[in-house]
């Protein structure tokens, strides 16, 4: 059982849902990322996503684009992020999932990436522009190394695609809640519950919802239908606002705690349809 | 017989494919099916053929550049005159086909990226013709250096969105167009203008531009009573080049040469020659040769010509390069300017700076070949849009 599997099983047993915060690694520096992840874990993060910056992040909105630019300027790269994770792994038990694009992984080498990531203590990876159809070369290496590849389901995914993704994904399924790029939105998509229902019918695997989720109220709404909520841009925007300030880590930690609070409340019925 | 390329998943050997966020996968599959169906539809094909003839002005002439050839003192240089197409470049071939497809798919809004502005102008033109809403993404740097085309697009009713992110050129315009498409995919058709991007775009753009090579093949047979000895075309993303080259791929005797932008020289690092100085990677949905750092970050391309200012190249070009079928060379900004001036002075034809790269290389090559040889140059566009860039490069004032 991987660390991701254990985490979701433990939360499920407790009737809790996962908070999955996102940080762009290296924003504003890799040392700050380390402190932020340690604090996030302490304040209730159940899984942490670490973005490895790419020069051309076509699935990201302006907030995460800017963070990527800062992180690249600060020298973040696949090898530097993996070094940071290796240090972090001695400090936290929280599962760490890298979120990146295919080209930096390819440039590092698919086999080297899978092995080095696992050796450093990375639990999973999401490659935003690698759909299941293009995944075989990396998936082969990830399976051999014991790295969970997490795939995304989108609102445009057809039922056969949902089944394909459910079959390929390890750890959990990342549900993209809306057609669009990352970034905060006022409202949650109206069809989110139906979308998650369709995924539930295809798989018993945990589902985490991301894109456009930024407030405790939105997290609470997601927590009523999914196993976890991923929050990116709202956290990254706070990091951007507090970068260089002594309150950076504490302010981000407080926000993580606020986001986690609604996910601790037990639901009237379990969101998970367990197989008997 | 080799199987047709690309394969069912859009791969040209190891290149191409569909490296996109999941949100775009189902729409790309739908697009692929719509294109396959349109290709079989005789009514669609007739409508496209009519527009290419009566609206775009096809077939374009194959012109013997006699004075230019004499000046070089070697092989005979023929120009495939895509500059005479409506809107001033080959881009209209692809745009008319895809705009008809958009209408056939009931998408009333089209978006496009543009570098030099030629694809943007062509898209705005087709949108006006078919009554489609049109928005064009253009890097802020290109908006500045191609002001004339920006205004043309606006006159045609398109909205031009200046892209400030990244290198503020074509690469960033494509990122922004893809972000728009991810957001509005249910109502919007992304009219991609080069032979790159996720499958089916490289195939579809090639199919629509192959009319260039099919005509050139027929015309050389008529004029020369044989096939040409060499084909030369400039390669940014590679749309005009693949259009000219593709119908000749099986003709092993015909040398096929793509000319990349050498910028200030390959050794300076300021260029756009991804075949000469790049490495295999994934950008904008496909695997191909890219200019990039050791860490896999995409580099910024440099070229005097906005249309070649792209750090990658279409996947089919990458495939035929590795297969040894296409050769790739580079021409610097300075050489391209010489090509521009030579063609203008000797033939009264002012080429686009993109096309001037191909002209410059053809002149170099012609000198080394006997008079019995014939070179066909893809003259992809006309140079009106570049006059102010040329003036600046020559240190002269307009007016």
The Cα B31–Cα B49 span in angstroms is: 21
- Give A40's Cβ-side CA count (13 Å radius): 30
- Asked whether residue B1 carries a pLDDT value surpassing 80, the answer given is no
Question: pLDDT for B93-135, tens place per residue?
Answer: 999 999 999 999 999 999 999 988 999 999 999 999 999 999 9
The conformation of residue B86, written as its DSSP 8-state character, comes to G
Question: pLDDT for B233-271, tens place per residue?
Answer: 999 999 999 999 999 999 999 999 999 999 999 999 999
Residue A93, token pair as written in the block: 């038990």
The Cα B75–Cα B181 span in angstroms is: 47
Contact call for A55 and B166, based on CB within 8 A? yes
Considering only alpha carbons, which residue of chain B is nearest residue A126? B21
Q: Which among B113, B215, B347, B354 is annotated as catalytic?
A: B113
Note if the bond before B59 is cis, omega within 30 degrees. yes
Q: Which among B80, B91, B107, B171 is annotated as catalytic?
A: B91
The Cα A99–Cα A25 span in angstroms is: 10
Question: pLDDT for B126-181, tens place per residue?
Answer: 999 999 999 999 999 999 888 889 999 999 999 999 999 888 989 999 999 999 99
A263: Cβ contacts below 8 Å, ≥ 6 apart:
A16, A17, A18, A19, A219, A220, A223, A228, A229
The conformation of residue B381, written as its DSSP 8-state character, comes to B
pLDDT band at A48 (very low <50, low <70, confident <90, very high): very high
Contact call for A107 and B23, based on CB within 8 A? no
The answer to whether A92 and A37 are in contact (CB under 8 A) is yes
Contact call for B26 and A131, based on CB within 8 A? no
Residue B235, token pair as written in the block: 């390669």
The Cα B65–Cα A275 span in angstroms is: 76
**Arithmetic mean of pLDDT, B191-210:** 98
The Cα A157–Cα B24 span in angstroms is: 9
Is B380 marked active-site? yes
Question: pLDDT for A208-258, tens place per residue?
Answer: 999 999 999 999 999 999 999 999 999 999 999 999 999 999 999 999 999
Question: pLDDT for B307-317, tens place per residue?
Answer: 899 999 999 99
The Cα A206–Cα A226 span in angstroms is: 8
Question: pLDDT for B271-282, tens place per residue?
Answer: 999 999 999 999
Average pLDDT taken over every residue of chain A: 95
Does B296 contact chain A (CB < 8 Å)?
Answer: yes
The answer to whether B312 and B290 are in contact (CB under 8 A) is yes
- Asked whether residue A269 carries a pLDDT value surpassing 90, the answer given is no
Question: pLDDT for B2-42, tens place per residue?
Answer: 558 999 999 999 999 999 999 999 999 999 999 999 999 99
**Arithmetic mean of pLDDT, A181-199:** 92
pLDDT at B145: 80
Residue B112, strand partner residues = B136
The answer to whether A216 and A265 are in contact (CB under 8 A) is no
Residue A30, token pair as written in the block: 């890799």
């Amino acid at each position: 059982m991987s660390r991701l599997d254990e985490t979701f099983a433990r939360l499920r047993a407790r009737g809790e849902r996962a908070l999955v915060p996102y940080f762009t690694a290296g924003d504003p520096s890799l040392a700050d990322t380390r402190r932020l992840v340690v604090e996030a874990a302490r304040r209730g993060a159940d899984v942490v996503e670490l973005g490895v910056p790419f020069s051309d992040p076509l699935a990201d909105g302006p907030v995460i684009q800017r963070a990527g630019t800062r992180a690249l300027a600060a020298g973040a790269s696949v090898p530097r992020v993996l070094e940071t994770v290796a240090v972090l792994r001695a400090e936290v038990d929280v599962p760490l999932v890298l979120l990146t694009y295919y080209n930096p992984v390819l440039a590092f080498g698919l086999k080297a990436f899978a092995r080095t990531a696992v050796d450093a203590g990375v639990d999973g990876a999401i490659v935003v522009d690698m759909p299941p159809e293009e995944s075989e070369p990396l998936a082969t290496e990830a399976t051999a190394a014991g790295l969970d590849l997490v795939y995304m389901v989108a609102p445009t995914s057809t039922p056969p695609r949902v089944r394909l993704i459910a079959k390929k994904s390890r750890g959990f399924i990342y549900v993209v809640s809306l057609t669009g790029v990352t970034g905060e939105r006022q409202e949650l998509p109206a069809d989110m519950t139906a979308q998650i229902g369709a995924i539930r019918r295809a798989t018993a695997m945990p589902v985490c919802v991301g894109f456009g989720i930024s407030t405790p109220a939105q997290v609470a709404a997601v927590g009523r239908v999914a196993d976890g909520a991923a929050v990116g841009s709202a956290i990254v925007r706070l990091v951007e606002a507090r970068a260089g300030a002594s309150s950076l880590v504490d302010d981000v930690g407080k926000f993580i705690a606020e986001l986690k609070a609604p996910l601790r409340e037990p639901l009237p019925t379990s969101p998970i349809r367990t197989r008997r | 017989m080799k199987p047709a390329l690309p394969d069912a998943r859009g791969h040209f050997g190891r290149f191409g494919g569909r490296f996109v966020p999941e949100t775009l996968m189902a729409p790309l599959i739908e697009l692929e099916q719509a294109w396959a169906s349109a290709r079989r539809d005789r009514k669609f094909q007739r409508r496209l053929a009519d527009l290419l003839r009566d609206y775009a002005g096809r077939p374009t002439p194959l012109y013997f550049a006699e004075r230019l050839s004499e000046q070089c003192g070697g092989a005979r240089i023929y120009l495939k005159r895509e500059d005479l197409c409506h809107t001033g470049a080959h881009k209209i071939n692809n745009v008319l086909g895809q705009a008809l497809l958009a209408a056939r798919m009931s998408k009333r809004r089209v978006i496009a990226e543009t570098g030099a502005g030629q694809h943007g102008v062509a898209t705005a033109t087709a949108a006006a013709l078919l009554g489609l809403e049109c928005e064009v993404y253009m890097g802020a740097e290109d908006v500045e250096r191609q002001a004339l085309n920006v205004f043309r697009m606006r006159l045609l009713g398109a909205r031009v969105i200046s892209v400030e992110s990244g290198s503020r050129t074509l690469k960033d315009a494509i990122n922004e167009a893809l972000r728009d498409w991810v957001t509005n995919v249910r109502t919007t058709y992304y009219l991609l203008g080069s032979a790159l991007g996720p499958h089916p775009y490289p195939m579809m753009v090639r199919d629509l531009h192959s009319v260039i090579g099919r005509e050139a093949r027929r015309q050389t047979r008529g004029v020369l009573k044989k096939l040409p000895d060499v084909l030369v075309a400039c390669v940014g993303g590679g749309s005009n080049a693949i259009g000219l080259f593709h119908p000749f791929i099986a003709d092993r005797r015909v040398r096929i040469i793509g000319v990349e932008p050498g910028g200030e020289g390959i050794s300076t690092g300021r260029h756009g020659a991804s075949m000469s100085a790049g490495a295999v990677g994934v950008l904008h949905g496909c695997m191909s040769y890219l200019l990039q750092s050791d860490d896999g970050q995409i580099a910024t391309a440099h070229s005097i010509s906005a249309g070649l200012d792209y750090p990658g190249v279409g996947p089919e070009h990458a495939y035929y390069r590795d297969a040894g079928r296409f050769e790739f060379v580079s021409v610097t900004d300075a050489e391209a300017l010489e090509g521009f001036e030579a063609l203008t002075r000797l033939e009264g034809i002012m080429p686009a700076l993109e096309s001037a790269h191909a002209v410059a290389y053809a002149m170099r090559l012609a000198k080394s070949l006997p008079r019995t040889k014939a070179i066909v140059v893809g003259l992809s566009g006309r140079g009106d849009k570049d006059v102010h860039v040329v003036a600046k490069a020559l240190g002269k004032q307009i007016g």
